[in-house]
Amino acid sequence: MTNIASNCKAFCEVCGHGVYNLEKHLQSEDHKRNLRKEQGVILMAAKAFVLIETVGVRSKEVVTALKQVEGVEVDTVTGPYDVIAVVAGETLNDIGDLITAKIHPIAGISRTVTCLVMEDK
């Protein structure tokens, strides 16, 4: 690695730079902040709001069906949509698969609009 100064004794993978004293560095606020950031990114599940229009008076059945799906939270709402589901997954691909495989086939859903949640960085 070219970014390690020759007088650095160790390299911190979390912070991505060389350090003089690794033990001391691991206790530093800078390192802890970077560690939290890294763990946050790993733990940060991808999330989407799925706005759902139902056919007729079937929103109750749709909600019941949605509640069976793992990773889905659901609420009945007023306004232009009947049901809003919050879908969480490890990646956006997981969410897409889940929506296609588990939500679209539910009887009584006439239309869905998926809004992916942006991570603020």
Closest CA to 17 of 31, 27, 29, 32: 31
Q: Find the binder of Zn ion among 8, 22, 31, 51 (CB under 5 A).
A: 31
Question: Which residues 6+ apart lie within 8 Å of 69 measured at CB?
Answer: 98, 102, 103
Kindly state the smallest distance separating residue 121's Cβ from Zn ion, in Å: 19
Site mask for Zn ion (CB under 5 A), range 83-112, x = bound: ------------------------------
List residues binding Zn ion (CB under 5 A): 12, 14-15, 31
